[in-house]
Structure 1
Amino acid sequence: MRNTRLVRPGSRSALLGVTATVGLSVAAVTLPAAADAAPRHPVRPTIVLEHGAFADAASWDGVVARLQRAGYPVVSTANPLRGPATDAAHLRSVLDHIDGPVVLVGHSYGGTVISQAAAGLEGKVKALVYIAAFLPDTGESSFGLTNKFPGSTLGQAIESINYTLPDGGQGADVYIKPEKFRGQFAADVPADKARLMAAGQRPIAAAALQEKSTQAAWKTIPSWSLVTTEDRNIPVVAQRFMSARANARTTTIDASHAVSVSRPEAVTRLIEQAARAVR
């Protein structure tokens, strides 16, 4: 226990005690002002990742780990893969619960979704990053853009499974055949990992690939694009066309469509470039 010594009022020691107390009070008042004068670090944007067809949120795992180590808050969303309008509404609900600026990243069909979801959110979404992705204009569909250019072999690798809708109608989900998954989607991913990806792939509604986009946020939000030259889903010439049309800052890489899995360091690097440019 600390000892306390009594001091007679009016003594010199008492006066010194009062002076010391006043000095401490002044210091207590002035310290916050000094703290306020210190330079503030810019807020890091939240990185929101939207996967595409035939993948799931785990396809971003290598990217998420690197971004988190770099100090970025990250959200890897589960894309319903039902159609641009439905999926964009779902993504917007995710964005509504995030405070501060956002960098929105889309892979493959996820590019179609972020292009629609970010429209009108220029104050919040500071950058769009497209990873082996569609950058559709208003009135364009993912299916239409794929077939507009030569190079895709997806049509020979997929199968369709019908299901019953709540209203009694019929819908169809599209998968990549497991035996063709690695060659079509993830040729540069180790075979054991590709088998796991094939087993866990998320199907996309066939109608989603034909539904036309109604918004193109890349017209008003700065954009970045990673073009994959060994892509068998979205032809490389299509990726280059869409990236140039959007005036996106474009990087080219020799990688398969599953570039976020096979080359997460390159994907992370491009996302960080976008994040730093808009801070």
Structure 2
Amino acid sequence: MSDLPTLVLVPGSWHQPVCYDKIVKLLQEQHKLRCATVTLPSTLDNPSATFKDDLDAAQKVISNEISQGRNVVVVAHSYGGMVGNSAVKGFTRPKPGDLTTTQDQSQSQSTGYVIGIILIASGFTLTGLAFMDPFLGHPPPAWVVNKETGYADIVVSPREFFYHDVPDDEAEFWVSKLTTQSLKALFEGAEYTYAGWQDVPAWYIGTVEDRGLPVLAQRMNVGMAREMGGKVQHRELQTSHSPFLSQPEATVKIMVEAVESFTGMSVATQSSEDAEPSRALITVPGARVLQPFSWLKFGLPLAFGHLLGRGIVIFGWGRRAWRSIFSSR
């Protein structure tokens, strides 16, 4: 089995894998990390494309890597987080008690596994909830439902929404690369969603200047996941919704740290004359006793997230107990 994992990168809504080109180049050339990207069918001008289609596409890429004995780290951005989290199902390392035969043990030695998830300005998927379910089916102000075409239409400036901290010429290039986004993938498919972050450790890259997913909501998500048992490391960058374009070096630095955490191995770093030093400050969010402002900035959102997570856990317990009572009658 290969020592270092393959990074399987899942883009978000309206985006193609080309959006990851900057960090893929850095990861492969400077850190010798293998990368594989996923193209989401829901972004390929097909209003009939579903979340299940996106999930199948991601799992196909993952399966190809692990079948060759490589471990995998799933990297996902925005909506892609729901795809990436769900795609983990069935690909994580079996628990010791699950390997009961010599054949199973032999198979486990030759097959790779998903060993971690890196989420970028995304969310922690809850099993059985479609992407729009937490929003009660109401789109955010940035896009609208176009029932005639079957697509989600962006109604704000894409440059301001996704890339406001990217230089103008470059931002316009990335805007030109945006595609359509199937509504079906956003509103349907709850039966296929899965909280993969509960099966493997996760790293979360937050985006402080995000105009698509407010950073306070991101911090609440992290608190929720931790309360629900997720092993989550949290880092933040002072960037827009797309740090892999505006701060690729800093993004890669966090990703390399995550891979080292997942594997317990050092990742080689090869200097490049063309590489620019990172301008972004990487923050480890957390409330500090001697810094009262940090209580408001980090402590409260994380605390609200913990309360939300506790509520979800209690609701789950109650639902299971209710079903158990009625199934025994």
TM-score range, shorter chain: 0.7 to 0.9
CA root-mean-square deviation:
2.4
Q: Who is 2:104 aligned against?
A: none
1:161 Cα offset (Å): 5.0
CA shift digits 1:198-233 (9 cap, x unpaired)? 222022112222233531110111100011121122
Q: Who is 1:233 aligned against?
A: 212
**Pair 1:182-2:143 in alignment:** no
**Pair 1:118-2:88 in alignment:** yes
> Percent sequence identity over matched residues?
27
Q: Who is 2:10 aligned against?
A: 50
Give 2:181's aligned amino acid: I
Distance 2:130 2:167 in 1: 31
Residues 152-167 of structure 1: matches in 2 within 5 Å?
155-158=140-143
Contact 2:17 2:37 in 1 (8 A): yes
Q: Who is 2:24 aligned against?
A: 64
Contact 2:86 2:125 in 1 (8 A): no
Structure 1, unpaired ranges of 5+? 1-40, 149-153, 164-170
Structure with bigger gyration radius: 1
1:202 to 179, 190, 195: 179
1:160 Cα offset (Å): 5.1
TM-score of the superposition, structure 2-length normalised?
Answer: 0.63
1:146 Cα offset (Å): 5.5
Structure 2, unpaired ranges of 5+? 43-48, 94-112, 227-231, 264-329
- Runs of 4+ that moved beyond 6 A: none
Q: Who is 1:219 aligned against?
A: 198
Contact 1:137 1:215 in 2 (8 A): yes
Distance 2:183 2:38 in 1: 21
Give 1:139's aligned amino acid: G
| CA pair 116-185 structure 1, distance change in 2 beyond 3 A | same
The aligned length equals 227
TM-score of the superposition, structure 1-length normalised?
Answer: 0.74
Does 1 or 2 have the higher relative contact order (CA < 8 Å, sep 6+)?
1
Distance 1:227 1:147 in 2: 24
Distance 1:159 1:201 in 2: 16
1:140 Cα offset (Å): 2.8
Contact 2:125 2:193 in 1 (8 A): no
Give 1:273's aligned amino acid: E
Residues 1-279 of structure 1: matches in 2 within 5 Å?
43-69=3-29, 70-81=31-42, 82-98=49-65, 99=68, 100-123=70-93, 124-145=113-134, 155-158=140-143, 172-177=150-155, 180-211=157-188, 212=190, 214-247=193-226, 248-279=232-263
Greater fraction of residues in strand:
1
Contact 2:38 2:57 in 1 (8 A): no
